[in-house]
Amino acid sequence: MTEVAPQTTVPKPSSAAARFRQRNGWVVGLALLLVGMIVLRSTQVANFGGFEVRALAAGGLMLAFLAMAQGVVVLSGGINLAVGALMVLANCVSALLMEDSSFAMSIVVAILTIIGTALLSGLMGWIITVSGMPDIVVTLSRCTSRSWGWPCSSSAGPEGEPTRISRT
């Protein structure tokens, strides 16, 4: 009896453009998005220059960090709505504590804020693991808790516009 080797299918050859699009589509898309944002912003600002490009990139950096953090949570099989809330909380606390501080004190506040945010995130992960509650329940309860978000409450002026961050 003779054995017949299984037939393998050979992939169809693709063009160089198709391979480039498949391998680098996201990079090209992000570059086009950045160019579009720069063009749009340059029409809004009279003296557009390097500072505006830097501010645009720094503004998008927080969104990129949030997307990466949420991506890690989703890849691990959960959903954590508090990633953004924790980042906003850290931003509010650090801005409040860095006001009228020296550079060295600002660095200390930044490091302590990072540690505090990591501890809050770890506490939520610990509560999820130990209690067995669904992670969405824990994150929703964290997002709605007023006791954890005290630095971000604001007082409104007579016209309803926010005047200043307060600790109440």
The pLDDT mean for the chain works out to 78
Question: What's the CA dihedral at 119, 122, 128, 130 to 10 degrees?
Answer: -90
pLDDT band at 144 (very low <50, low <70, confident <90, very high): low
Q: What is the pLDDT of residue 149?
A: 47
**26-40: pLDDT as tens digits:** 889 888 988 898 899
Backbone angles phi, psi at 63, to 5 degrees: -65, -40
Q: Are 56 and 41 a contacting pair, CB within 8 Å? A: yes
Q: What is the pLDDT of residue 156?
A: 47
Can you give the three-state secondary structure of 73-109, one letter per residue?
HHHCCCCCCHHHHHHHHHHHHHHHHHCCCCHHHHHHH
Whether pLDDT at 153 is above 50: no
Mean pLDDT on 107-117: 92
Whether pLDDT at 99 is above 80: yes
